[in-house]
Amino acid sequence: MINLTIDNQQVAVEPGTSILEAAQKVGARIPTLCYLKDINVIGACRICLVEVQGAKTFIPSCVAPVAEGMVVRTNTPAVLKARKLVLELILSDHPMECLTCLRNQNCELQDLAKEFGITEVRFDGAKTEYPADDSSPAIVRDPRKCVLCRRCISVCTNVQTVQALCAVNRGFDTLISPAFNEKLADMECVQCGQCSLVCPTGAIVERDDTAKVWAALADPKKHVVVQTAPATRVQLGEALGAEPGSIFTGQMVAGLRRLGFDKVFDTDFTADLTILEEGNELLQRVTNGGTLPMITSCSPGWIKFCEHFYPDLLNHLSTCKSPQQMFGSLVKTYYAEKEGIDPEDIYCVSIMPCTAKKYECQRPEMNSSGYQDVDVVLTTRELGRMFIQAGLDAANLPEEEYDAPLGISTGAGEIFGASGGVMEAALRTVYEVVTGETLENIDFEVCRGISGVKEATVQVGDLPVKVAITNGLGNARKVLDKIRAGEADYHFIEVMCCPGGCIGGGGSPIPTDIDIRLKRIDATYTEDERMALRKSHENPAVKALYEEFLEKPLGHKSHELLHTKYTPRGVNK
């Protein structure tokens, strides 16, 4: 242990601990801006400076390791003054547009300005003026608001290994951007939005599509239906000020009704459906010698990643559409027919923890109903804003139930939102379908948790099924490289683009960090346990769907409506 003094308090910490972390132990909160635990530790912004006895300059606490006998002061007038001047400089190169900024009241820079009591910026020199990139359906970049903390680059490069962004130029002209100022829409960016999740300011935000939804709700001709992704119910509360881990399922349904949606449905329903289609696809591949391992396909960020970086492995992907897209094509066919509504009049809104789904719904393949299957995707953050705008006090709304039939679901559908959930749901079903026996213990603990690569062998009848589960694209890469090298003997792999799975998706409430992800995961499994039905093949509405409409898994209609194909895209094209 290393002993040091911080603000006159003795503290002992592990070697390698940063001053910042050590200070937290004695209750000293040091402000930060560029720092992002475990992801971006570069000491660039200089907001976290402290005084260390004997040092010639102030020391950035986020990067500086503790040393034996160190004497640290975190809040001397000199330190506070230096931090304030650094912040004043940052603000002198920032458009002061808080009132019209998506991150208003949820912005680390704004918080710092308030915390430091900035009342004046004395420098009126040049400001960074680069044009915004709003080419992407998922995210919008406005470099004027960028503080060059590089958190986005770190997450895109090190966590997602996409490397869509880099620092361009140098000095005051530094810009965060793709090479050659390419548009995010035209390159390898997978639209996962993880950058928007970590950006401390409004420099990268989700594309705000709420206006489209308000317009649809105002249009009397439109039959507006909404689907909510599994993860959203354990996220929405946070967007409205509740503690991480709060479950807002019933309140969300109630609020959506009050916003004026004609039907409130659940993506959990098509998640159950996905299990039947995908499970059967797996069984077919195993029996008929199809391409193995088979890999899940419900994460559009992951799909785009595979199309760019592993186009040679596309035949490993399940041909199943994501649950949100299955929902879209069913709502404009099955549901329209059933209710006698002209599909043209149906407006399908998705609430997703995800920015990539904004991109996904615009893919040309996603028109199997004859219309754009899903009209618009809102992230959890956007839905939160709609609730606030509409004056919905969500916490005090009565809990309401989803509409039938597309709102009927099981716990298996629910756990799709956490990494390992799709696998666990599939195992619950495949086991019973293959063995014909009832599964005693349906909790597959091996699938759960936040670690990047999970592996397990599950005995299904005679067959030891080898599975792998990854979250975060950097981890997907590890498994994909194994496949490429011919070293992967898995049957089935679950890949989720975002760290922790959808509960940590790019459209999640901000902040989202490891601890918050874990709380959402816990909430997810709590929801699962609360459900009466917890296996997809037991979902009565799904059974009815097959009986009334689809006939059987992997049948003709299924192929038309629920399955898709992929486009090899490559890089640097």
Partner 1 sequence: MKSLDELAKIKENRREALKIREGFPSATEKAHVMMCGGAGCISSKCLEVVDAMKEALSKNGIADQVQIILTGCMGPCDMGPVAIIYPDATFYRRLKPKDAGAIVEEHIMKGNKIPRLMYRAPGAKEPTPNVKDIDLFAKQKKIVLRNNFYIDPTSIEDYIANDGYAALGKALTKMQPEEIIEEVKKSGLRGRGGAGFSTGMKWAFTAAASGAPKYVVCNGDEGDPGAFMDRSVLEGDPHSVIEGMAICGRAIGAEQGYVYVRAEYPLAIERLDLALQKARENGLLGKDIFGSGFNFDIEIRIGAGAFVCGEETALLTSIEGRRGEPRPRPPFPANAGVWGKPTVLNNVETWANIPEIILKGADAYASVGTEKSKGTKVFALAGRINNTGIIEVPMGTTLREIVFEIGGGIPRKKAFKAVQTGGPSGGCIPAEHLDTPVDYDSLGALGAIMGSGGMIVLDEDTCMVDIAKFFLDFVVDESCGKCSPCRIGTKRMYEILDNISKGKGKEGDIELLEELALMIKATALCGLGQTAPNPVLSTIRYFRNEYEEHIRDQKCSCNVCELKE
Partner 2 sequence: MVTCACNASNDELTKQLDRIIDPYRGNPGGLIQVLTKAQNLVGYLPRRVQVQIAEGLGVSLQEVYGVVTFYAFFSLIPRGRHKISVCAGTACYVKGTKMVTKTLKDLLDLKPGQTTPDSRFTLEIVRCIGACGLAPAMIIDGKDVHGRLEPELIPAVLEQYA
Please give the residue ranges that form the binding site for partner 2 (CB under 8 A).
163-170, 178-180, 188, 571-572
558 is catalytic: no
**What does 174 bind: ligand SF4, partner 1, ligand FES, none (CB cut-off 5 to 8 Å by kind)?**
partner 1
CA separation for the pair 543, 409 (Å, rounded): 11
The whole-angstrom separation of Cα 205 and Cα 217 is 24
3-state class (DSSP) for residue 344: helix
State which amino acid sits at residue 369: S
Q: Which of residues 59-78 bind ligand FES (CB under 6 A)?
A: 60, 62
Q: Is residue 353 involved in binding ligand SF4 (CB under 6 A)?
A: yes
Of 196, 246, 299, 318, the active-site residue reads 318
CA distance 380 to 387: 11
171 near partner 1 (CB under 8 A): yes
Instruction: Give residue 388's identity as a one-letter amino acid code.
Output: I
Whole-angstrom distance, CA of residue 174 vs CA of residue 148: 8
Q: Are 191 and 359 contacting, i.e. CB atoms less than 8 angstroms apart? A: yes
Residues with Cβ within 8 Å of residue 525, at least 6 apart in sequence: 415, 418, 448
Q: In this structure, are residues 216 and 224 in contact, taking their beta carbons and an 8 Å threshold?
A: yes
List C-alpha distances in Å: 115 to 59, 436, 507: 20, 62, 27
Does 31 sit behind a cis peptide bond, omega within 30 degrees of 0 on the bond before it? Answer: no
From ligand FES, partner 2, partner 1, none, interface partner of 178 (C-beta below 5 to 8 A by class) = partner 2
- Residue whose tokens read 């298996």: 412
**57 interacts with, out of partner 1, ligand SF4, partner 2, none, CB within 5 to 8 A per kind:** partner 1
Q: Which of 110, 143, 316, 357 is nearest to 230 (CA)?
A: 357
Residue 559: exposure state from Cβ atoms within 10 A (0-12, 13-18, ≥19): middle
Instruction: Answer yes or no whether residue 383 interacts with ligand SF4 by CB under 6 A.
Output: no
Burial of 212 (0-12, 13-18, 19+ CB in 10 A): middle
What radius of gyration do the chain's Cα atoms show?
25
Question: What CA–CA distance (Å, rounded) separates 468 from 451?
Answer: 12
Is 7 or 400 the residue whose CB approaches ligand FES more closely? 7
Q: Is 307 a catalytic residue?
A: no
320 is catalytic: no
Q: Which of 11, 36, 45, 422 binds partner 1 (CB under 8 A)?
A: 45
- 48 lies in the site for ligand SF4, by CB under 6 A: yes
Question: Position of tokens 């989720």?
Answer: 496
| Catalytic position from the list 152, 320, 447, 502 | 502
Secondary structure (DSSP) of 491-541: SEEEEESSTTSGGG-TTS-S---HHHHHHHHHHHHHHHHH-S--SGGG-HH
Least CB distance from residue 47 to ligand FES, whole Å?
A: 5
Residue 48 interaction partner, one of ligand FES, partner 1, partner 2, none, beta carbon < 5-8 Å per kind: ligand FES
Residues counted in the chain = 573
When the beta carbons of 55 and 167 are compared against partner 2, the nearer one is: 167
3-state helix, strand, coil in the chain (%, to 5): 40, 15, 45
Binds 301: which of partner 1, ligand SF4, ligand FES, none (CB < 5-8 Å by kind): ligand SF4
Least distance in angstroms from the C-beta of 195 to partner 2? 13
Question: If binding is defined by CB under 8 A, does position 123 make contact with partner 1?
Answer: yes
DSSP lists the bridge partners of residue 378 as 351
CB of 306 vs ligand SF4, minimal distance in Å: 12
Q: How far apart are CA 227 and CA 223, in angstroms?
A: 13
315 binds, among partner 2, partner 1, ligand FES, none (CB under 5 to 8 A by kind): none
Nearer to ligand FES, 44 or 254 (CB): 44
Residue of the chain from 126, 211, 485, 532 that contacts partner 1 (CB under 8 A):
126
Angstrom distances, CA of residue 338 to CA of 275, 343, 347, 404, 561: 23, 11, 16, 12, 16
CB of 195 to ligand SF4, least distance (A): 3
Provide the mask over 88-107, with x wherever binding to partner 1 is found by CB under 8 A and - wherever it is not. -xx-xx--------------
- Whether the Cβ atoms of residue 356 and residue 191 lie closer than 8 Å to each other: yes
Is-catalytic flag, 494? no
Q: Which helix (H) or strand (E) holds 88?
A: helix 77-92
**What is the distance between the alpha carbons of residues 195 and 193, in angstroms, rounded to a whole number?**
5
Q: Is 318 a catalytic residue?
A: yes
Nearest CB to partner 2, comparing residues 395 and 571: 571
Q: Give me the catalytic one of 357, 358, 454, 535.
A: 357
SS3 462: coil
Contact positions with ligand FES (CB under 6 A) in 23-62: 32-35, 43-48, 60, 62
Considering CB distances under 5 to 8 angstroms, the limit depending on partner class, which of ligand FES, partner 2, partner 1, none binds residue 437? none
List 256, 317, 352, 468, residue binding ligand SF4 (CB under 6 A): 352
DSSP string, 358-383: HHHTTSTT--TTSS-SS-EEEEHHHH
- Residue 152 interacting with ligand SF4 (CB under 6 A): yes
Based on CB atoms, which residue is closest to partner 2, 78 or 571? Answer: 571
Residue 171 CB, shortest distance to partner 2, in Å, is: 10
Of 141-170, which residues contact partner 1 (CB under 8 A)?
A: 147-148, 167, 169-170
Closest separation between CB of residue 166 and partner 2, Å? 4
Strand stretches in 360-517, DSSP E: 376-379, 453-460, 463-471, 492-496
Is 189 a catalytic site residue? Answer: no
Query: Can residue 36 be called a binding residue for ligand SF4 (CB under 6 A)?
Result: no
Is 234 near partner 1 (CB under 8 A)? no
Find which of partner 2, ligand FES, ligand SF4, none residue 201 binds, CB within 5 to 8 Å per kind: ligand SF4
Minimum Å distance from CB 96 to partner 1?
15
Q: Are 542 and 273 in contact (CB under 8 A)?
A: yes
Judged by CB under 6 A, the chain residues 222 through 261 that form the site for ligand FES are none
Using CB under 6 A as the binding rule, the residues of this chain from 186 to 245 that contact ligand SF4 are: 189-195, 198-204, 229-231
Where does this chain bind partner 1 (CB under 8 A)?
Answer: 42-47, 49, 57-58, 60, 63-65, 81-82, 85-86, 89-90, 92-93, 122-123, 125-126, 147-148, 167, 169-174
Looking at the annotation, which residues are catalytic? 278, 281, 298, 318, 357, 360, 365, 502
